[in-house]
């Protein structure tokens, strides 16, 4: 299995990208900054970069096993969208089927939806307890307003899953590269 990591640091509202970068340090990976809601700096280390070897102090840190990947994009991404769930064990197979058979395929039809990778959380330090994380590489933020995404979010299968408290409690984030 391919190992990845995702690490999140809270930052002071209005802090500069340089201040956010100082939290992350010199670790290899994709240095990110939240674009919505909670101010945070993040480091995403997909399998091709290699996992961060230890959890930094003061950060939520997740070790991730790759479950599925739509494959490399044909152009650089500008935004990362994260969706994280704490899926009950008895729902895991159903959620994986939904992602694999319907949801990801619909999202990938959107122009500018470049790549989707799903992970199972192996372990975590601090932060919310998630069992599943999906990282979506988008050309830019406008892709989130596409009709293809709207369709992917309005199917009967998704509507049935959405009734569950674990689904409603999903963690979401939209991130840009630091310095952009």
- Among left, alpha and beta (phi > 0; psi -120 to 50; other), residue 135 is beta
State residue 161's pLDDT score. Answer: 97
State residue 21's pLDDT score. Answer: 81
CB 40 within 8 A of CB 34: yes
Domains of the chain: 3-177 (3.30.70.100)
pLDDT tens for the chain, 180 residues long, are 578 999 988 876 777 788 888 878 777 889 898 887 667 888 899 998 877 777 677 788 999 999 999 999 999 999 999 999 999 999 999 999 999 999 999 999 999 999 999 999 999 988 889 999 999 999 999 999 999 999 999 999 999 999 999 999 999 999 999 875
């Amino acid at each position: 299995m391919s190992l990845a990591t995702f690490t999140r640091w809270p930052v002071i509202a209005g802090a500069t990208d340089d201040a956010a970068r100082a939290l992350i340090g010199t670790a290899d990976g994709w240095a990110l900054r939240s674009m919505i809601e909670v101010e945070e700096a993040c480091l995403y280390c997909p399998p091709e970069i290699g996992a961060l070897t230890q959890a930094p102090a003061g950060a939520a840190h997740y070790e991730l096993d790759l479950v599925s990947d739509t494959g490399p994009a044909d152009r650089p991404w500008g935004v990362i969208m994260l969706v994280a769930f704490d899926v009950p064990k008895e729902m895991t197979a159903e959620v994986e089927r939904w992602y694999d058979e319907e949801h990801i395929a619909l999202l990938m039809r959107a122009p500018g939806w470049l790549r989707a990778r799903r992970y199972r959380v192996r372990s975590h330090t601090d932060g919310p307890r998630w069992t599943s994380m999906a990282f979506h590489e988008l050309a830019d933020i406008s892709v989130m307003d596409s009709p293809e995404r709207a369709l992917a979010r309005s199917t009967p299968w998704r509507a049935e899953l959405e009734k569950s408290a674990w689904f409603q409690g999903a963690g979401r984030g939209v991130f840009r590269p630091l310095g952009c």
